[in-house]
Amino acid sequence: MAKANIPEKGAIVQRDLETFAIHPHIPGGFADPALLRKIADVAEKYGAKYVKLTGAQRIIIIGIKEEDLDKAWAEFSDQSKAIGLTIRSIQMCPGTRSCKKAKQDSPELGLALDKKYYGQPAPAKFKMGISGCSNCCSDSWMKDLGFFGTDDGFTAVVGGKGGGTPKYGFELATNLNFDQAMALADKVITFYKENGKTPERLGATIERVGVETFKKAVL
């Protein structure tokens, strides 16, 4: 019998409909050497077909047998999982921590959002991208909620998405400091949880309820 995704195990069924992929949580894609060694060890120990760098700044281990899923996950100290109708991994650039073009510390905001929201249930998948400047290397305009840095703080954009019907977001607020950005994110996510209808993304929720209604609720 063909298998399906197992969300509670953080397992995504593969093309063979028999084996699975798992992706250890790597907040912002910042992985230390010990975690990289652990991923390699787990892939080798449980006979993975290969590992793959993903667009969501994760390393996915592909080809794990169902009977090995619990054992493979147990190898990692961080066993948080987010597939299906959840707030997904938050994409972020290195910001002012290393990039010469950055205007703001995108990892400070991104890692704080990751710590607070990663893996929480949502009406549909919910993606965030935090960029240190207007180059938007973290695809901020193509996320449900994005932020990018300017000389005067963060600009927030909402309602974007990729996929088969991609859509740009729209500007929601400007010149936000760290605390203001966190507070706005909380209002946006709360609004989506309270008003979103599965399987619509945030942009579709905003279109259904009206942009002005949304802005009144979160600004």
Would you say 109 and 147 are in contact if contact means Cβ atoms under 8 Å apart?
A: yes
Q: What is the pTM of this model?
A: 0.94
CATH at 31: 3.90.480.10
**Per-residue pLDDT at 1 exceeds 80:** no
What's the pLDDT tens digit per position in 121-152? 999 999 999 999 999 999 999 999 999 999 99
**Per-residue pLDDT at 187 exceeds 80:** yes
* Structure confidence at residue 2 (pLDDT): 82
- Same domain? For 175 and 201 the reply is yes
What's the pLDDT tens digit per position in 82-124? 998 999 999 999 999 999 999 999 999 999 999 999 999 999 9
- Same domain? For 120 and 192 the reply is yes
- Same domain? For 98 and 148 the reply is yes
Both tokens of residue 64? Answer: 């794990």
Task: Give the domain extent around 101.
Answer: 91-218
The closest of 196, 181, 191 to 85, measured between CA atoms, is 196
* Residue 58: band (very low, low, confident or very high) from pLDDT cuts 50, 70, 90: very high
- Same domain? For 52 and 126 the reply is no
* Structure confidence at residue 106 (pLDDT): 98
How big is the CA angle at 216 (ends 214 and 219), to the nearest 5 degrees?
Answer: 100
H helical segments located in 105-210: 106-117, 178-195, 202-209
